Amino acid sequence: MVLPKSVKLVEVGPRDGLQNEKELVTTADKVELVNRLTNAGFQAVEAGSFVSPKWVPQMGDSADVLSQITRKDGVSYPSLTPNMRGFETAMSVGVKEVAIFGAASESFSQKNINCSIAESLERFAPIMEAAKENDVKVRGYVSCVIGCPYEGKIDSAKVAEVSKTLFDMGCYEISLGDTIGVGTPEEVKHLFEAVSKLVPIDQLAGHFHDTYGQALANIYAAMEMGISVFDSSVAGLGGCPYAKGASGNVSSEDVVYMLHGCGVKTGVDFEKLLDAGRFISNVIGRKPNSRVSNALA
């Protein structure tokens, strides 16, 4: 198996990482984090989520964050827009890429957003239409692609079906998320083999949580399958609030250390990334959830 010469990392810390923090992070600190990650060289920084502040209070200032960050040419700042109201707000602050999400588990879909998988995908139709009219790119997420906290193992055929639906709707890329971090390398290879029969391999991405310590191995396995886009979170921020024991997203520092050690280019300045991780960890009052950062402290 030949590894890709370069990998695109989608930094999800400012949104996916911070959204479940109980103590509110100030807008100024979020802006500072996004700017630091931009300066570190990420091609994409997930900067906000236009959801109801009632459900996700931490993301209530996303419009302010997107208005205040220093944007850099060639860098995208995708934001989550689960409904048309969120999409319209995102448009008002100049968002050029949005993200929508589905699940491969019916139970997870019901518990998370109170509707079936099919219903959740139908809700995105007007967003896809409006995005096309506004020349806005849409990225799709699929949750629970290997395991579900309620159903256990997930059939790869179901993941492929949901992924194809999002792809056919117009998503330019589908990020497959091991939401509770239970996957192992061979399962990951089987997953991408199944999904790539319905969605081109170069339009798939990997999103791995490190609950069972498998995320780096799973990224490596996915690269062997031809995947060259991965989501990661600075300082290992985040986790699934519905998944018992889920320790969070794989840390960007650990991923970059591994990729650079394998001779795979990322365009990310490792030292600036370490600084960004330590900055936000100081803000929230705990050590980075990154083995590499702590080893080099």
Q: Which residues are catalytic?
A: 240
- DSSP label at residue 250: P
**H-helix or E-strand containing 206?**
strand 204-208
| Short-list 38, 88, 97, 40, CA closest to 68 | 38
Residue that the structure tokens 């936000």 belong to: 280
CB 202 within 8 A of CB 169: no
Task: Determine the Cα–Cα distance for residues 231 and 275; give it in Å rounded to an integer.
Answer: 19
Helix (H, G, I), strand (E, B) or coil at 295: helix
The H-or-E segment that residue 137 falls in is: strand 137-143
How close are the terminal C-alpha atoms of the chain, in Å?
Answer: 34
How many residues appear in the chain? 297
What residue has token string 């589908």? Answer: 174
Q: Facing residues of 177 across strands?
A: 207
Q: Are 46 and 97 a contacting pair, CB within 8 Å?
A: no
Is the Cβ–Cβ distance between 79 and 141 less than 8 Å?
no
